[in-house]
Structure 1
Amino acid sequence: MDHTLIAALESRLVNAWPAFEVAVAEGWLLRFASGYSKRANSASPLVPGADLDDGLIDHIVRRFERQGIVPTFRLTGLEAPGVEAKLAARGLVDFEPTLCMMAPLAGGEEPEPAVQLERAASPAWIRNAAEAYGGDKADRDILGVIVGRIRESAAFATLVLDDRPVAWGLGVTERGFTGLYDIVVAPDLRGLGLGRQVVRSLMTWGREHGATHAYLQVREANEVARSLYGSLGFADAYRYTHRIPPPPV
């Protein structure tokens, strides 16, 4: 496992998808954003070998409970051996294993004429992206605050088909890497390759802004998306998972 690569991508993720509040506890980074997305509402190892004991677990759980957020430990592989077993022994269950995938930006990507790129998130981008996501990511107000806090170079993509916005995405470039976030297609048009156009355009934009690689996160169970990204040159960089309290019976 390449701890240097994991740490490099994790540090960029923190900047690309800002939380509202952060705290550090014995090598763990705690992030809080009103519960919108696990990546901004979890405790992740900040340095290789970050460990946990019962007292630190209790402290972290209390911090999340005081915020009204489900206590979530995001395990990236930087944590010390045995951390996951300690959390399992405390009754925290495995939830949504995810892959971080990475692709070189070698110059083969081409911009898509139908994809419009903006340097800042417009109200329409925020509204439409949140609506297309739905579920626990449908809150446009929180999404707007998160993307409004991005300080690195960013591109907000909208794919327009027959004068209708139908797909969206976000690229954030920092120190040679472009992170791709919130790639989403209107529910009634999924499966038509529209997401591919958004990703290709953001990869091209990243290369033009000095990036040599792109990265993204995708749920391990999402085989359709993984196949799409694989066809665009993405390969698994590392796997992470979450440990959360079991749902109430």
Structure 2
Amino acid sequence: MDDHRLILGLESRLMNAWPSFDYQAYDGWILRLAGGYTKRANSATPLLPAAALDEALIDHMVSRFVEANVRPTFRLNGLQASDVDAMLDSRGFQEIEPTLVLAGPVDGDCVADPEVKLQSEVSKQWVREAAGSYGGDKADDATLMKIVSRIHQKAAFATLHLDDKPVAWGLGVIERGYVGLYDIVVAPDLRGIGLGRRVVTSLMSWGCQEGAHTAYLQVREENEIAISLYGALGFQPAYRYTHRVMPAPSSAP
């Protein structure tokens, strides 16, 4: 039960910190849609212990995804019933992107890095630069702006400058004693020299100033370098989630 309480507490904060455009509730599941930008904002997630699925409910939720032109995705965080993963697997849903939610204490120095600028409101410049450094599917700055503009909790939009040039970005969101760290990204040509760490520690210092006792973030299981970095900052695994996605239709010969 304690594990379920931790998962539910962090999942609730995550949903508030990274809003979707549409929310639909189905028997212990929350289906979220945000134009396909990030899986955490475009997936069906269990929010009650032992949340179950049956064939009819799967079909119904799949149809909602299809109507929204979003790939049907179930995000399994450990709250689901024990047979859910096997049920989705039997229907051909592929398992991808196992992810760790890490949590660590916020203590010690509450002073942010002086070269990290923290803004309480999002700017077009922050969105444009952060999205551009991500590249790929996450280069959609218009959708990113729509998501972060919907955050109702207190937030800090961080930009690290070197020689007056923006080189790294991040987002912190405070809720009920926790600071969530999102969208930590470094300019592609400057990765691996500790700039992301400076953004993370500055957002944790901001969280400290705002009364947070714990920080949390999400990192893909395959990203061993980031996991090692966060471990050095005191982060430990809180729980794990993975995705089951409907396979793309095969092309005609």
Fold shared by both chains (TM-score > 0.5): yes
Kindly report which structure 2 residues correspond to 1:166-245, keeping only aligned pairs within 5 A, or say none. Answer: 166-245=167-246
1:28 is displaced (CA, Å) by 0.4
How many angstroms does 1:80 deviate by?
Answer: 0.8
1:50–1:79 CA contact under 8 A, matched in 2: yes
| Alignment map for 1:33-52 (pairs within 5 Å) | 33-52=34-53
Aligned partner letter, 1:219: R
TM-score, normalised to structure 1, is 0.98
Counterpart CA distance in 2 for 1:207 and 1:248 is 48
Q: Please, what is the CA RMSD of the aligned residues?
A: 1.0
Q: 2:79 — aligned with what?
A: 78
Partner residue, 2:115 = 114
Maintained 8 Å contact 2:103/2:217:
yes
Matching residue of 2:18: 17
Distance 1:168 1:7 in 2: 28
**Structure 1 residue runs of 4 or more that deviate by more than 3 Å after TM superposition:** none
Q: What corresponds to 1:124 in structure 2?
A: 125
Q: TM-score, normalised by structure 2?
A: 0.97
Cα distance in 2, alignment partners of residues 95 and 248 from structure 1: 17
1:111-169 residue CA offsets vs partner (Å, 9 max, x unmatched): 21110000011111000000000111100000001000000000000000011000000
Unaligned ranges ≥5, structure 2 = none
Q: How far 1:247 moved relative to its partner? A: 3.4
Contact 1:178 1:214 in 2 (8 A): yes
Matched residue count: 249
Cross-structure match for 1:160:
161
Cα distance in structure 1, aligned partners of 2:211 and 2:107: 11
CA positional deviation for 1:110: 4.2
Structure 1: state its 5+ residue gaps: none
Q: Distance in 2 between matches of 1:210 and 1:38?
A: 30
1:102 corresponds in structure 2 to 103
Query: 1:246, CA displacement in angstroms?
Result: 2.1
Tell me how far apart the structure 2 counterparts of residues 141 and 90 of structure 1 sit (CA, whole Å).
34
Percent identical pairs in the alignment equals 61
User: Distance in 1 between the 2:242 and 2:85 partners?
Assistant: 10
* Aligned mates of 2:248, 2:65 — CA distance in 1: 16
The answer to whether structure 1 residue 28 and structure 2 residue 29 are counterparts is yes
The alignment partner of 2:112 has SS state of coil
Task: Determine the C-alpha separation between the residues in 2 that align with 1:241 and 1:109.
Answer: 34
Answer yes or no: is the 8 Å Cα contact 1:110–1:200 preserved in 2.
no
SS at match of 2:127: helix
Take 2:190 and 2:77, find their aligned partners in 1: how far apart are those partners?
Answer: 33
Distance 1:63 1:82 in 2: 22
